[in-house]
Amino acid sequence: MTIDYPRELPAWLRVLTPTRFAVVRDQSINRRRGRPMQVIDKSDPYWSLDLTTGNCTADRVAEMEAWVASLRGGLNDMLYRDPRHVTPRTYGGTFDGLTRHGGGAFDGTADVDSIAPATVTVSDLPSTFALKAGDRIGLEEGGAYSLHRILEDATAVAGVVTLSVDPFIRTGLFSTSATANFLRPAVRMIVTQFDPPDGRALQTLHLAASERGL
């Protein structure tokens, strides 16, 4: 069977909490006497993941080892979808029963009307779609994925809403042709560490990953 990349995590995988999934900022801070402090980004911010699984049987361990091996180090990518942010918090993990302002069932996707490094305007949402600070929005275009945290509460008017987001949007990569996604939004990552199993009958596994630089 052909393997499609980027790969989703195995469907059976149960991730223990707490899992560290956060934006990393590599900054240089220069404190100079009598002058304003200078802060410079040394690289683009990126998502970093550190997770531990629940107890895995020997068969599951073998499956996970094969899954990691299929990525061939950093040559192939995985997709990570934060289980703590399946949907915006108002909707409790499902969009069942929601309809778009213009009609039709809402499946979590929306159109991008305008885009800037720190803001994005999306449309074709439910009429008063409600978002809270800390919710997530994903962008997808041409095989590229981008994940962002919403910084302020916002409610759509007639199915349109403008959102302030972090980390910034790479506007050279994403345009108004992108699709916005509020259902299990994903980030594209490479595995940077996988701790080999130790032979116990039941064991947890540890995996670390970093957002693929684009």
What pLDDT, on a 0 to 100 scale, did the predictor assign at position 33?
A: 72
Which domains can be identified in the chain, with CATH numbers?
A: 7-81+188-211 (3.30.200), 89-185 (2.40.30.290)
Q: What pLDDT, in 10s, does the model give residues 160-203?
A: 999 999 999 999 999 999 999 999 999 999 999 998 777 777 88
Q: What pLDDT, in 10s, does the model give residues 128-157?
A: 999 999 999 999 999 999 999 999 999 999
Distances in Å between the alpha carbon of 189 and those of 64, 104, 160, 205? Answer: 16, 33, 30, 18
What is the model's pTM?
0.89
Q: What pLDDT, in 10s, does the model give residues 50-75?
A: 999 888 888 999 999 999 999 999 99
Distances in Å between the alpha carbon of 158 and those of 100, 107, 125, 127, 161? Answer: 9, 17, 8, 5, 9
What pLDDT, on a 0 to 100 scale, did the predictor assign at position 27?
A: 67
For residue 140, the number of C-alpha atoms closer than 13 Å in the C-beta half-sphere is 17
SS3 call for 82? coil
What is the Cα–Cα distance from 127 to 125, expressed in whole angstroms? Answer: 6
Question: What does pLDDT average to over the chain?
Answer: 92
Tokens, residue 171: 């506007």
